[in-house]
Copies of this chain bind each other. A is one copy, B any other.
Amino acid sequence: MSDRYAPVPEDRFVFGLWTVGNPGRDTWGGATRPVIAPDEIVRRLGDLGAHGVCFHDNDLIPFDATPADREAILGRFRKALTETGLRVTMATTNLAFHPAFKDGSFTANDPAVRRFAIAKSLRAIDLGAEVGASTYVFWGGREGAEIHASKPVGPALDRYREAIDFLADYVVDRGYGMRFAIEPKPNEPRGDLFLPTVGHALHFIETLARPEMVGVNPEVAHETMAGLNFVHAVGQALWANKLFHIDLNSQRIGRYDQDYRFGQEDIKELLFLVKLLEESGYDGPLHFDSHALRAESAEGVWDFARGSMRTYLILREKATRLAADPRYIALCAEAQVPELSLPTVPEGFSGEAVTRLLEEHHDPDALAARVVANERLDQLVTEHLLGTA
């Protein structure tokens, strides 16, 4: 297979330590692969042409590590970063694994849990800052409920907001220059999670004390679980200038969180995702938040990583060719796509504009007869995807 799709650091591909490091444990089964040390992950990713890594605090520093452990691990990690040139692009807090967070972290009913969650986040932000992370992600994996009676939504959102506001103040106070990115998810591991979709998170951000500092981190798998159109979700985030980070993977609708390799499912949606990202000027990390299939062996993890990046690059090339194909341009014109960017009432609101609208002739049947050429357009796209266009 062609080397044309071999990644380089400039492609901005990033893997979480927990992604290539996933040992294959699930609810029904034990680990199928050995744990890999963070510095080893960095080196392997460096060999593959990645740009960076990211992590939860406890991916790097175990929950029970002593200060001495911490320094030793950090030393090895930094050394690997220096030797490979990889960067840390993002950090986050693990507020899901420890049973202390069984009823939530920022939205736990128990104030002591909430204080512990904030304290853990403060330390994790320090850790992220220490290794240069410029984005800090919040995924509320335990912020939700299975039963209505235990968790009223309004107070829960108050607490969620309070925590984010507090931590944003902290970042500003320390001068870390970080931005926050909220990662929505509809359910799992809780029955229902708060901020279930990109839309809910975008709205929540508008209620924060420092909305300009906070954006979203949409994940293919998470929106797809709810059957929502991921390109539309990213589109609304970009429209709001709030795409601060992105998690790339694959997922089937209406299933458990599968975190498949980017490209494994719904390749046409991914083509349009790549097209949208590339055309939008998004220049943040392209983070693969996914893992090798559980049946995969230790070495297969790197096949997974290699394939994720190759598929992105193939789709990037296809997106460019598609946009430049005169047939595509002509069919978009026939479907009147460019006219969607024109104001409907260019002069804006006024009594005269209303009068003109009401007086102008509309012929509904003629409008109904317009040719949209959508079947031809999508067939052309399909054949670009298949390489037969």
Contacts and interface: CB of A to CB of B under 8 A. Distances in A.
A246 to B, nearest CB: 15
A213 B293 CA distance: 36
Contacts of A371: 297, 299-300
A18 B215 CA distance: 40
Interface stretch (A8-16, A35-43, A128-136, A152-160): A152-160
A301 to B, nearest CB: 8
A236 B203 contact: yes
Contact of A227 (B113, B204, B253, B373): B253
A227 B187 CA distance: 9
Contacts of A141: 28
Given A1-B389, A99-B368, A227-B226, A109 B335 contact: yes
A66 interface: no
23 contacts: A26-B27, A98-B368, A106-B344, A118-B357, A119-B360, A149-B328, A149-B331, A152-B235, A155-B340, A158-B239, A159-B340, A166-B349, A186-B228, A191-B252, A194-B232, A196-B232, A200-B202, A202-B203, A203-B206, A253-B254, A297-B369, A314-B388, A387-B387
Given A24-B102, A152-B235, 10 more contacts: A29-B102, A29-B189, A100-B368, A149-B381, A150-B374, A154-B239, A203-B203, A203-B236, A256-B256, A386-B387
